[in-house]
Structure 1
Amino acid sequence: MTQNPSGSLRAVVLGGGLAGTLAAAALAPYVADVLVVERDTVLPETAAPRPRLPQAAHAHMLWSGGADAIEELLPGTTATWLEAGAHRIPIPNGMVSYSPAGWFRRWTETHYLIGASRDLVDWGVRTALRAAHPNVRTRTGVRITGLAGDGSRVTGVRILDGDRREDVLDADLVVDATGRDSKAPEWLAAIGGPAVEETVVDAGVRYASRRYRAPEGTASDWPVVNIQADPRLGTPGQVVSVIPIEDGQWHVSLSGTRGGEPSGDEQLFEEFARGVRHPLAADFLARAEPIGEVAVYGRTANRQRRYEKAAMPTGFVVLGDAATSLNPVYGHGMSAAALGALALRDTAAKTPVGAPKFARQAQKAIAGPASAAWLLAVGQDRFYPDAVGEAPSLGDRLAARYVQRLNRTAIGNFLVVRALTEVMAMKKPATVLGSPDVLFAAARGLRRPLLDGPQLTEREQSVLNREPLRAAADEPA
């Protein structure tokens, strides 16, 4: 790769969250100066919450595709996470998962995910960026008011600083990584830029999350427990995920689509977990100690803005949730942002950042992993009752039936498990599910019978053999 850190080019990245930090890492080897501007007045020096990141209170899965992309951008980040208490969880053997087709077998490892709080993930990336790239600076307490330039070229960004003083930050490249709240369409309109095609699919998902202290003997080498919804049932989709994180804790998230949302009431938290398609997660929670309050979050619509299709001005790129925001239940937001940042870096390695065609090429490259994650999300969400957005087409329905067939086949066929996890972990595109060997396996169907219950290790079962700390709501105290 050709690097040009000593040139005169300057990039301004809008947003100091995960996507913005990774965008800065992607650009730092190819420009002289990267300035990250952030609305928060302080970015934590430790793995602490940020006030403008409410979704951090909910369980996050960083799939191996995203973790590997981060490691490629910022080598050593994974070790930083693990040293701070994060877990490297092998998939599928480290996941107890009840799919719409039944219980998955716990085959040998094909991929992995990082079990950690969002606060720890972000802190690890910020720490790695500071150590690796001294030409990256951060300016906090800054509000973005618009873009500088015109419809053909963006030349910087207009801001208000902490003292409400107006200023313009000149830049050869501006990257919008401001997340779901991005005002990029309005900013573009104000300078005579293009209208951007937007699609929204909203199943009305609401989250309720709480942390638990892991029962004795379960703080390490513990699986993810995931009870999935089944869109075929014609009822609201309800999900429970239990993910081991740092400090000997489980991060537990409940979610439900429109008409089946969880409550913020602590007394109803475990009752909801017991009412999903299988009570296994609730049985584990009854033997763990809850920590803190229940956090609720409801901004979960899938929103896709097709910047790569618009006649965008030179010098402006949109990355992460600012371009494609996803229902968090599938755990692909962080990975899609990381893969988008890697695509930005790879574009900079081939085309000078200051070249007129750079932004257009980078936006198209970023759209690839984002579109893959979009299809995974809306391919499920369109089928839930009262979902808002374009109804599933015949093609959508046929694709959903094929995926259902694959999920069922995967219970008894390792080849299909590998293909599905490659897509889910964002290591390969969904086209691998149409390869001849996968098609043949789907046609043959199950090689082994369906399981009649979850595959639990002796240690996992021993936890369920303990007396519950709390009785279920429908049982006598």
Structure 2
Amino acid sequence: MHGLTARGAEVMERLFPGLRDELTDAGAPGGDFGEIVAFRFPTCWSPRARTGIPLQTFSRPLLETRLRDRVRSLRNVRVRAGVRITGLIGDPGLVTGVRTRGERRVGADAHERHRIPDVLAADLVVDASGRNSRLPDWLTELGLPAVTSTVIDAHVGYASRLYAAPEPHTPPWAAAMEIVQAPRVGRGFMATRVEGDRLLVTLQGSGGDHPPHDPDGFTAFAESLRTPLADLLTHLAPLSAVRPYAHCANRRTDYHRLPAWPDGLIALGDSVCAFNPLYGQGMGVAAMEADLLHTMLMRARSLTGQGFTQTFQQRVAALTRRPWIMSTAQDRGWQRGPAARSTRITDTLLTCAHRTMSADPDVFRRFLAAMHMTRSSAVLLHPRTVLALATTALRPDARAHDDTRLWWGHTPHTRPHK
């Protein structure tokens, strides 16, 4: 399960012109977010309204293949396969390369072995190895102090399965999701139409209530949801086994707080700040960080002695602050232990916000603009938004869209659900 924010897609298109058209030609559905994405909030549905925020839905392998092909085609890029990085070369003030281990087979019959050098020198080492990065250990091996990190773990588990979804059983949306909300609603899903007339379905369980990994259990879990997803799946043919995933904690590593940071080394992406994938922040934020690096490199006179790398880490910390808050606000409620007062307050505020967005497309547009990082989060403080939220808070029975047919239509597999 992976999503890409509108801001992330915009950055990727700027760095790789024509990427959006390539994805479209490969069969990726697209349209206006508010017209093709259905949110099932705990008490209501999102409105079906134009928002001005574009969206494409596709499988991650399609996106990664296109990006990898683009990068491989660059004349000054060389890709080395079968290499494991085992540590850094340098000292606390300067990293000059990496230690490696590995070899790869080359030649038509793959009989010839090509041993990878034990050391790769570099003017700039970039750690983009993801949430399992070993960089904190490598920094201490260089003599730097231990780096701190913050973990917000909702104890979420996912299970995904791919289905064939040809006409007439293609859903009337490009993506649909049932939102979890602590402490009342712990089960949800995300279903996304992808290239090849397929539907990628991901079930979610929070607070340790994980979806099963077997087909029958997967179906039973889907039947427990508050939407007609299970009914839809009875009309679709599975194309894959059920694939579980349960390592989804939000983790922010505070590299920017180290009193000193070595020249010649930076970290970005999930290596610095990993998000619960449900919220679709990871790839978009990583793209924005890559764009930041591009801008800084174009302006830099030198990569050493000018504080380039430390400045980059500080700017990455600033860039990830807003998506971190948005990703962890809800997940904090699922952390184990007595329910905190803040969790109850968050639950009340989110319920109010959801009901307001359901009945007021303008408020929904502002929420999406903040979520997709196309506008500052200050957009949520617009007087009209504040007034709408206050009105809903004073009238908890205010109208909200709760008709499943708004998004699922009148087809046989959309019987009414609570």
Tell me the TM-score normalised to structure 1 length: 0.78
Asked if residue 184 in structure 1 is aligned to residue 135 in structure 2, the reply is yes
Return 5+ residue gaps in structure 2 as ranges.
105-114
Distance 1:220 1:256, change over 3 A: closer
Distance 2:383 2:219 in 1: 44
- The one of 360, 371, 392 equivalent to 1:424 is 371
1:293 aligned residue: 241
Structure 2 counterpart SS, 1:145: strand
Distance 1:66 1:357 in 2: 27
Asked if residue 99 in structure 1 is aligned to residue 41 in structure 2, the reply is yes
Paired amino acid for 2:6 = S
Distance 2:285 2:357 in 1: 25
Residues 91-113 of structure 1: per-residue CA shift (max 9 Å, x gap): 11111211134111111133133
Return 5+ residue gaps in structure 1 as ranges.
1-58, 467-477
Tell me if the contact between 1:255 and 1:262 (Cα under 8 Å) persists in the aligned partners: yes
1:115 aligned residue: 57
Asked if residue 364 in structure 1 is aligned to residue 311 in structure 2, the reply is no
Structure 1 counterpart SS, 2:239: strand
Asked if residue 148 in structure 1 is aligned to residue 89 in structure 2, the reply is yes
- The one of 257, 268, 283 equivalent to 2:231 is 283
Tell me if the contact between 1:287 and 1:463 (Cα under 8 Å) persists in the aligned partners: no
Identity of aligned residues (%): 34
Paired amino acid for 2:214 = D
2:268 aligned residue: 319
Structure 1 counterpart SS, 2:54: strand
Asked if residue 384 in structure 1 is aligned to residue 331 in structure 2, the reply is no
Distance 1:425 1:127 in 2: 26
Distance 1:361 1:270 in 2: 49
Deviation at residue 430 of structure 1 after TM alignment: 2.9
Deviation at residue 130 of structure 1 after TM alignment: 3.2
1:76 aligned residue: 18
1:170 aligned residue: 121
- The one of 405, 414, 425 equivalent to 2:352 is 405
Distance 1:155 1:400, change over 3 A: farther
- Which deviates more from structure 2 when the two are superposed, residues 222-231 or residues 364-373? 364-373
1:255 aligned residue: 204
Tell me if the contact between 1:146 and 1:158 (Cα under 8 Å) persists in the aligned partners: yes
Runs of 4 or more above 6 Å deviation: none
2:189 aligned residue: 240
Paired amino acid for 1:434 = L
Deviation at residue 127 of structure 1 after TM alignment: 2.0
Residues 260-308 of structure 1: per-residue CA shift (max 9 Å, x gap): 11000101212111212x1322222122122121111111111110112
Residue correspondence of structure 1 range 319-338 to structure 2 within 5 A? 319-338=268-287
- The one of 288, 293, 304 equivalent to 1:344 is 293
Structure 2 counterpart SS, 1:461: coil
1:198 aligned residue: 149
Distance 2:203 2:302 in 1: 43
Deviation at residue 415 of structure 1 after TM alignment: 2.2
Paired amino acid for 1:416 = V
Distance 2:346 2:187 in 1: 22
Deviation at residue 318 of structure 1 after TM alignment: 0.6
Structure 1 counterpart SS, 2:79: strand
Distance 1:218 1:72, change over 3 A: farther
Residues 360-388 of structure 1: per-residue CA shift (max 9 Å, x gap): 22222222332222211211111026279
Tell me if the contact between 1:254 and 1:273 (Cα under 8 Å) persists in the aligned partners: yes
Distance 1:399 1:268 in 2: 32
Q: How many equivalent pairs are there? A: 400
Asked if residue 303 in structure 1 is aligned to residue 251 in structure 2, the reply is yes
Tell me if the contact between 2:30 and 2:174 (Cα under 8 Å) persists in the aligned partners: no
